[in-house]
Chain A
Amino acid sequence: MDEKLKNELSKQGIFTTTLQNLYNWGRTNSIWPLNFGLACCAIEMIATTMARYDMARFGAEVFRPSPRQADLMIVAGTVTKKMAPLVVRLYNQMPEPKYVISMGACAISGGPFKQGYNVLKGIDRFIPVDIYIPGCPPRPEALLDAFMELQKKIDEQTLTGEKRPRHLNAGEPSEFVVPRYGAHDLEPTKNPNLWKAPLVQISQAGTDESGSH
């Protein structure tokens, strides 16, 4: 709909919207997170829901204990290799459209336990992450900021075309590979369709922001 016409109509007291805007308005303001904490970040996540930080202002106070009723997975804490298949399976069981916030250094990269034998070096090896929050642990304000970024991201998604959510594309898979416990490591160690090891080129270092491609 033409933006000018919309403005003109609203001056006359006529409110117009599109199906897409209405759909996104509903989705952005009722994101229900999965009630799922892994480590100390979960304490900050709990604090965010309580009265002082009050996540209910964003319509997200309804933490669902079942993945079938949740839209958002907040991976809050260290993902051990023992826990990784469970996280992926829970993500698979959530209904579309679903989003993931990777909260804290551990969920992003393994954090202080990165060199450990038993810690997954980032949940983005197995499930697609929408928002990363650094911090050890991130403060509740950081989680709220990530939440508002996610709301912006959802608001920009369309029902058709390139910017539609992943699940509306019939070719995209609905389930991601759930790793198995192998003799020494998870099998597979990562989802190759989802995560590629960053190749750092020493000669290119300093030429772009990340020094990698």
Chain B
Amino acid sequence: MTNSPYLPVIVLLLAAVAFALSTLLLAWLWARFFSPHKPGPSKNAIYECGLESVGDAWIQFKPGYYLYGIIFLVFDVEAVFLLPFAVAFSRFGAAESLAMLVFLLLLVEGLVWAYQKNILVWT
């Protein structure tokens, strides 16, 4: 057991955990014995910008920009894949071309879906 190669790791782990716990314990004891507990409405407030929070956090957003951004991102990534495809175009076999065609068709399908859903028109 004394020759176990993991013994130093365990010792260090225990020391690390003990250090973290003892610091927390000391802070807790310090607060318990020296600091009187004084909560208040401002102190317990969640928002810490000086202003009071207004209204509810559960509100509805217009998703237009989000969808537009997603479509942009998809075609941005597509361009990254298309560039090596275009560079090596003449040396492709049938299998590679088919795979690329499926990839492109999937993206075109997405574009058609977006067009049908009227996402491409900014309202």
Q: Does A151 contact B (CB under 8 A)?
A: no
Give A67 to B43 CA distance when docked, in angstroms. 10
Closest Cβ neighbor of B45 among chain A residues: A93
Q: Does A90 contact B (CB under 8 A)?
A: yes
Q: Mark A152-168, 1 if CB is under 8 A from B, else 0.
A: 00000001000000011
Inter-chain contact A92/B36, CB cutoff 8 Å? no
Inter-chain contact A93/B43, CB cutoff 8 Å? yes
B interface majority secondary structure: loop
Closest Cβ neighbor of A92 among chain B residues: B42
When distances are taken between beta carbons in the complex, the residues of chain A under 8 Å from B39 are 174
Inter-chain contact B38/A174, CB cutoff 8 Å? yes
A interface majority secondary structure: helix
Inter-chain contact A92/B35, CB cutoff 8 Å? no
Inter-chain contact B38/A167, CB cutoff 8 Å? yes
Q: Of B35, B41, B51, which one neighbours A175 at CB under 8 angstroms?
A: B41
The 7 closest A-B pairs by CB, nearest first: A86-B50, A174-B38, A92-B42, A175-B40, A170-B36, A90-B50, A89-B42
Could you name 18 residue pairs across A and B whose Cβ atoms are closer than 8 Å? A66-B48, A85-B50, A89-B42, A89-B45, A89-B50, A89-B52, A90-B48, A92-B40, A92-B43, A93-B45, A93-B48, A168-B34, A168-B35, A169-B36, A174-B39, A175-B38, A175-B40, A175-B42
Chain A residues engaging chain B, CB cutoff 8 angstroms: 66-68, 85-87, 89-90, 92-93, 96, 159, 167-170, 173-175, 178
